[in-house]
Amino acid sequence: VLETLGNLGTGFAVALSPGVLFYGFLGCLVGTLVGVLPGVGPLAGISLLLPATFGLDATRAIVMLAGIYYGAMYGGSTTSILMRIPGEAASVMTCVDGYAMARKGRAGPALSIAAVGSYVAGTASVVGLMLLAPPLATFALRFGPPEYLALLLLGLLVLAYMSSGPMLKSLAMAALGLLLGMVGIDQMSGYFRYAYGLVELGDGIGVVPVAVGLFGLGEILATAGRKTPPEVIRPRVRDLLPSRREWRESGWPIARGTVLGFFIGIIPGSAHIIASFVSYAIEKKFSRRPEEFGRGAVAGVAGPESANNAATSGAFVPMLALGVPSGPVPAVLIAAMMVHGVAPGPLLIQQQPELFWGFIASMYVGNLVLLVLNLPLVGLFVNVLRVPYPILYPTIVLFCLLGVYAVNNSVVEVWIMVVMGALGYVLRKLDLETAPIVLGVVLAPMIEVSFRQSLATSAGSYAIFVERPIAVTLLAAGFVFLLLGLRPLLTRGLDWRARMALAAKGEKT
């Protein structure tokens, strides 16, 4: 422990030196902006700025790029809450209840809770990163294709069990998402599937244009289609801060979201987005008032927002401890280290203690900076809601188009977003949920690839899923959720889900 404290002292000396502090701050600031801009996520932001860091030294470059990564998680909630546009993919769940809170005039509290939750999650998971990185990373490496598949299936079953409203509608939407996720090059054989000769569809349908289209454009089109425009919300100053009740209801969701996000984050793969989905589902289950979810439950903002932030710190665990990329963003960070002649690998912590501990310390500082940066901005951001719709909405559409185009310089992705916007509008009219589509698009390729990789590893034997301890444990847990989900069918009793559906019906008539 003393040694850790000593090392941390060295780290803070590095992190608080003016140069590193400046670039860390810059990274956090850029990250917040990147998160706020619809479409442009942390990966695009880091990729765009990677060349700009080639002139810096390794520590400054890494501190700045990491700042963009976790800074984006703070910024991502802003547009989700205010306009129902996911600033980046991990904020999709925040759109649901965050936006509902904003419609009730509680935009300020939602933003504050998101910022505080992100701060708590960010700081707590850096503690985990600092104390447990090497053993956790070794554990994370044991997640091969079968374990990964089991984890994804477990996540899916938890979601299915805990999702609200009519099960059939949710499943239909998830299936649509899974189908969309099938587009692109078959990773195991090289066939183009449903690409219709468009090379640009080779990598499939990206989650960013889908999420921005379904949520953002769909919402805007739906609003434009109403006879009377919705009232412009004028938030009052005293409504900026969360009430005591809102604080109380956020405490546990933040804690659970943090732990969940951190552990999903350390597992190599790009399943980070499911951290926020599963967190949302869990909070709904734990809530005393599950019927509030979807209509502005503060726990539905606190949990997912904490989870996505904790997942980013978790993703650094395998990167720093072993030099293996746990996702696309850590892969770019590893490249950034290599550009500076730092070889990322198991010896990094010993050979580059200043970089490692400076990085850790900079994350403590960075999270604090982001909190200080974001809380006062709440007052500023909520004023966006005062802008009249004829001005606000065209501006948002413009930013969506620019953001989605900027990610890959691809017009095809802009078209995908436009089509998804139209689809989002239709689905809203039909009263269908759009979040399961996004989840399907994300999960389909991952589930398929990990399933087929598992079978490639075992030469086609399905026994691989029950021979490996982690995989079989996760699958067994998933099976339990499946049985629990089927219980209402057997007992014919109405559970809270059915009661909610009934209540919703009663409301409409």
Partner 1 sequence: MRRLTAAVLWLLTLPLVSAAWAQEPFPTRPITLVAPFPPGGVADLTARPVAAAMEKTLKSPVGVVNKTGAAGAVGMQSVATARPDGYTLLLALSSISIIPEADKLFGRPPAFTVDQFEPLALISADPTILVVRAESPWKTAKEFIEDARKRPGQISYSSSGVYGTLHMAIELLSHAAGIKLRHVPHQGAGPALTAILGGHVDALASGPAVVLPHIKSGKLRPLAGWGDKRVAALPEVPTFKELGYPEAEFYIWAGVFAPRGTPDAVLAKLRDTLAAAVNDPDFKAAMGKLQTPVVFKQGAEFKRFFDADARRLAEGVRRVGKIETK
Interface stretch with partner 1, choices 135-143, 208-216, 217-225, 250-258 (CB under 8 A): 135-143
Q: CB of 291 within 8 A of CB of 503?
A: yes
The verdict on 322 binding partner 1 (CB under 8 A) reads yes
- Interface mask (CB under 8 A) for partner 1, residues 197-216, using x and -? x-xx-xx-------------
What binding mask, one character per residue, do residues 141-170 give for partner 1 by CB under 8 A, x or -? xxxxx-------------------------
Is 353 a binding residue for partner 1 by CB under 8 A? The answer is: no
Name which position in 409, 492, 507, 509 contacts partner 1 (CB under 8 A): 409
Q: How far apart are CA 413 and CA 415, in angstroms?
A: 5
Kindly state whether residue 71 participates in binding partner 1, applying the rule CB under 8 A.
Answer: no
Q: Which of 18, 168, 190, 390 binds partner 1 (CB under 8 A)?
A: 190
The Cα–Cα gap between 104 and 416 comes to 32
Return the HEC string of 184-223: EECCCCCCEECCCCCHHHHHCCCHHHHHHHHHHHHHHHHH
Smallest distance, Å, CB 318 to partner 1? 8
Give which of 171, 204, 201, 228 is closest to 435, Cα–Cα: 171
Residue 456 sits in the site that holds partner 1 (CB under 8 A): yes
**Binder among 324, 369, 438, 475 for partner 1 (CB under 8 A):** 324
Q: Alpha-carbon distance 241 to 108, whole Å?
A: 6
Query: Which residues inside 49-68 make contact with partner 1, applying CB under 8 A?
Result: 50-51, 54
In the bound state with partner 1, the residue whose beta carbon lies nearer, of 374 and 454, is 454
Identified binder of partner 1 from the candidate list 150, 254, 273, 334, rule CB under 8 A:
334
Residue 184 φ/ψ, nearest 5 degrees: 120, 180
Compute CA 492 distance to the chain's CA centroid, rounded to the nearest angstrom.
36
**In the structure encoding, which two tokens stand for residue 336, read together?**
């950034």
Q: In this chain, which of 328, 353, 379, 488 binds partner 1, going by CB under 8 A?
A: 328
Residue 347 interacting with partner 1 (CB under 8 A): yes
Three-class secondary structure assignment of 276-326: HHHHHHHHHHHCCCHHHCCCCCCHHHHHHHHHHHHHHHHHHHHHHHHCCCC
User: Are 83 and 31 contacting, i.e. CB atoms less than 8 angstroms apart?
Assistant: no
Instruction: Spell out the residues 6+ positions from residue 380 whose beta carbon is closer than 8 angstroms to its own.
Output: none
Q: Interface with partner 1 by CB under 8 A: which range of 155-163, 218-226, 404-412, 496-504?
A: 404-412
- Provide the binding-site residues for partner 1, judged by CB under 8 A: 46-48, 50-51, 54, 141-145, 185, 187-192, 197, 199-200, 202-203, 268, 318, 322-326, 328, 331-332, 334-336, 338-341, 343-348, 408-410, 449, 452-453, 455-457, 459-460
